[in-house]
Every structure is written in C-alpha cells, then in structure tokens.
Structure 1
Amino acid sequence: MTKIKLALCQMNVVDNKKENIKRAHSMIKESVSKNADFIILPEMFNCPYSNDKFIEYGEKENNSPTLNEISELAKTNKVYILAGSIPEREENKLYNTSYLFDKQGNVIAKHRKMHLFDIDVKGKVTFKESDVLTAGNKVTVAETEFGKIGIGICYDIRFPELARIMVENGALILVYPGAFNMTTGSSHWELLFRSRAIDNQAFCIGVAPALNKNASYHSYGHSIIVNPWGKVIAQASEKESLIISEIDLNEIKKIREELPLIKNKRNDIYKIILR
C-alpha cells in the first residue's frame, strides 16, 4: 500500500478532559467518514498545555479513559490512530507520551518525548517542561501496513540526529504531534518540517492543537504535511480544522534516486551512534 489518506485533527483543546475526548472522538469519526487510513491527533490533545494541568490530567497507561476511547475508535473503525500525546503517569513520574494504535485497537508503539521543552525567549515566552515531566530515552519507529513510521513529539523535531536515526531504521514518514507557540511557531514551524523532510527525503507531518486564546499557552496551530522534496502539500491556519490529504510513498524512492542524499552520505567518515 503506497497511497495513504491522512487525517490531521487540529482540535481546540479546553480545560475539560471529557470535552477534549469528545471532540477527538468527533474529529476521528469525521475523518473515518472521509475514508482516512491514518488519523493523527495533536500533542496533549486531552489536556491544556500547562505544567499544572499535566499533573492534574495525568493518566496511567493501563487505566486511561483517553486511551481506552482511542483504542475503541481504532478497532471499531478499522483505522490507524496516532493519539498525539497525553500526560502519562508511571509511579511518581510524568511523561509526555504518544501512542500509535493499529486497526485492531492495539498499541503498536509508544513514544515518550525525548527532548523536554525548556526555553526562555526574553520578553516573549518561557516554559520549562522539566519542572514536572521526565524525558523519554527511546527512539520510536513503528511497523505498519504502510511501512515504517517514525514518531517524535514537538521539540524533538529540532534535533536532526533523531530524525536521521529514525530514517536509518527504515522510517518513510516522520510524525511529530506538536504545540509550538506563537513566537517559535511563526519563525520555525514550517522551516523545521521542511528541513527534516529535505534532510531525510521522507514525508514529515506535524499536528498541533488549534489556537485557544482563552488558554494560558497559545498554540500556533498550522498542522502541516511536507513531501520528501520539501514541498508543503497541506497546511492549516491557527483555527480548528481537519486536513484530509493523500500521500504517495512512491515519491520517496523517486526523489532518493534523483537526488541521492542517503546514498551519498560519507559513512566512511562520520556516523550517528545510538547509545
């Protein structure tokens, strides 16, 4: 299967878990009605993007109303769903974790955000995820009927080494649920997704929450799909929206033959080592 119909659910996230799950449910059902094969939710889709809310909304993997709902939707509708991310609680730790469900509703991959968002842009935005979150330590590449999919979360996209490792492990699609803010988003969001796509000659996808002006953290939105040539083939605005777009994985082989970056790497001189 080389052609995949993607659904990017740029949903409005509010301070009410039940309402967020209900909205995710609705957008997934709409995606299914449009014959989507692979549905993607945003980073922290069930939770406002705020450290205090991460603590309040945290769920254990084996007792998660959010994940149970997504699992049932994947199984009932026979569709892959990448559940953006949620605050995952394990013992006394919290992680920012993404879950990929197959058509039977099983979790076939989980990615804990590896690079925590600790920034201080003077006079504009300050955030420190590490105050409450623990960093993941595993590279995540999932096997699907479409081929291999690499999963990162938001800030992970700023680290090209991670994308390259995922591609060297066979990933054809790189997916980053993310919630860039209005400062970093306007400057870097599209640029980073285009860069990772060009660097690795792979499809690169970002799915963000919509801008909620009533929230303490303002998401940039602009969910995006970039092809292996670095061309933006779909992008939302900051408003709540559903992107439905078909991609053809045959583009990867064509572009890698025309411009053989992967083949021309100097493996005799340098390499990325995964410890």
Structure 2
Amino acid sequence: MAIRDDKRVRAAAVQMASGPNLAGNLAEVERLIGQAAEQGAELVGLPENFALMGRREADKLDVAESDGEGPIQDLLAKLASRHRIHLVAGTLPLRSENPGKVRAACLLYGPDGRRLGRYDKVHLFDVGVSPTEAYRESDTLEPGSRAVVVETELGRIGLAVCYDVRFPEQFREMARQGMEILVLPSAFTAVTGAAHWRTLVTARAIENLCFTVAPDQGGRHASGRETYGDSLIVDPWGSVLASRAKGAGVVVADLDLHRQAEIRRRFPALTHRKF
C-alpha cells in the first residue's frame, strides 16, 4: 500500500457517554464523526462500547452482529466513506462460535468504506476495582488471541482496547510489527482512570515511540457505572497534544510522523531491546 509523502496526519479521538439505546448512540456517533471531519481529521477513533453501554453486560448479546454485516457495521462503512476518513471503531459485539458470548471487535475502515482490519480484545476485564464495583467481561466476551497492526496510507496503525494497556508485552509485539500510530479505544472506570489512565497511556507511547490516540468513554451510564473520560492524543515523547476531561466531544491533534522518525533515529530504544 502506498504511504503518503507528507507524513502528517490529523487525528481525532471521540469521547462519548454511551447508553442503552443503540439508535441514540449511533446518532451521536454520526454527529461526533461529523464534528471531527469538519476539523480536518483524517483518522478518527471511537471509544470502546460506543454502540451500547447497557444496563447489564449481557445486553450486548442482543445487538451482536455477524462479521461483515449488520446495521452498526453498515453505518461505520458509510461514515468512513462519506467523510473520506480512516475510522477506528472500537468496540462492537460480533458473534463468536460460542452462542453465549461475543467478541469485542475493534474495526478499522478506510476512506472508501472498505474494512482494512479487525482486532478482537485480548485481555478481558475480570477485576474488582473497589469493594462495591466489580466486572467480569469473560461472562459475555470471548477473547481474541493476536496483536494487530494494519498498514495504511496514513502509516502503520496498531489496534488495542482499554484493559490491554496494562500488558506492555502486547505493545512490544506491535512495535515489532512496525506500529507508528496506536489507537486505543477505552471505557476506563472512574476509579482506575483517576489512578492510572494518563500514566499507562503515556507510558505505552513513550516506550514504543509511537503516537497514541486514546478515545475514552467519559460520563455516567444507565448501569450506574461511571467512566473516566480524559480522552488523549499523546506524541512519542510523552507530550499530551490534546485532551478532553468529561462529556461527549472530540479532541484533535496533528501527528508529525517525520518528527517521529527523527526521534526514533536519534533515540533508537526499540533497537536496544535485550529480551
């Protein structure tokens, strides 16, 4: 695939507070992607669970789609084509071979509306974040098993999701595959977000010398869950280029891949690995 010569990409992270109404969430997706496109974004990332944050984890089973077909996927392809953008849509529930579970799939669409890649969330959030707040994603999700980096005309885009950020070995594998831009759709809880979000996102950018676009859910949801927000775009040196604290909206920043290449040349940490 031909890579553009200018090596500068305008990226946007979309922040949402998705609820249990699929049609309402998709209308919000359409509105916010339009905002990003109006600001010149060529790469747009949606947060984890953008299509549905139900009252129960099992609600996602009711809106699950087969791979490659369904109204959610049709809309994503249409919006990518309409706005001539690369769209990272993460995540939506795609059916698995297990009838009681789905895959949390992060899909990448190109500006012609064709799907360029799919990543299924590998690390599932089975944790207690406080004495009164616990999650078991493995009750409804089937994990993926591989790291994904997709070569595009914008550069090599790596896909990962939320809880994955705590497992640096996944991102080292993605760096080995040549990742230049990491897109990390998330729905970080308010508790873990306040403690760890910026530290983890920034660390993954610094240690892999990659741009990181991290769209997050940010608000209170019908289930009672509160997500942290603070959607970020971070450069390879760890500088936060753009952020949004709470509420629905879009953050936009320019990614200078020429500068990234120069940083990697002068500071070749990725070539110094011993293990």
Class of the TM-score when normalised by the shorter of the 2 chains: over 0.9
User: Within 5 A, what are the aligned runs for 1:36-185?
Assistant: 36-48=41-53, 50-91=56-97, 92=99, 93-185=101-193
Structure 1 range deviating more: 108-117 or 231-240: 231-240
Asked if the contact 2:53/2:221 (under 8 Å) is kept, the reply is no
Q: Secondary structure at the match of 2:196?
A: helix
**Residue aligning to 1:22:** 27
Structure 2 letter corresponding to 1:253: A
User: Which residue, 202, 212, 217 being the options, matches 1:209?
Assistant: 217
Structure 2 letter corresponding to 1:100: L
Identity %: 31
**Residue aligning to 2:269:** 261
Structure 2 letter corresponding to 1:56: D
Structure 1 range deviating more: 81-90 or 158-167: 81-90
Asked if the contact 1:39/1:82 (under 8 Å) is kept, the reply is yes
User: Which residue, 11, 16, 22 being the options, matches 1:11?
Assistant: 16
Q: Secondary structure at the match of 1:126?
A: strand
**TM-score under structure 2 length normalisation:** 0.93
**Which of structures 1 and 2 has the larger relative contact order (alpha carbons within 8 angstroms, sep 6+)?**
2
Number of residues of Structure 1 aligned to a counterpart in Structure 2 = 267
Asked if the contact 1:43/1:153 (under 8 Å) is kept, the reply is yes
Q: Secondary structure at the match of 2:245?
A: coil
- RMSD of aligned residue pairs (Cα, Å): 1.4
Measure, in 1, the Cα distance between the counterparts of 2:10 and 2:247: 22
Asked if the contact 2:96/2:142 (under 8 Å) is kept, the reply is no
Asked if the contact 2:103/2:121 (under 8 Å) is kept, the reply is yes
Q: Secondary structure at the match of 1:105?
A: coil
Q: Secondary structure at the match of 1:193?
A: helix
Measure, in 2, the Cα distance between the counterparts of 1:149 and 1:66: 22
Deviation at 1:124, TM superposition (A): 4.6
Give structure 1 stretches of 5+ with no counterpart: 271-275
User: Within 5 A, what are the aligned runs for 1:191-202?
Assistant: 191-202=199-210
Structure 1 letter corresponding to 2:81: K
* Superposed structure 1 runs of 4+ greater than 4 Å apart: none
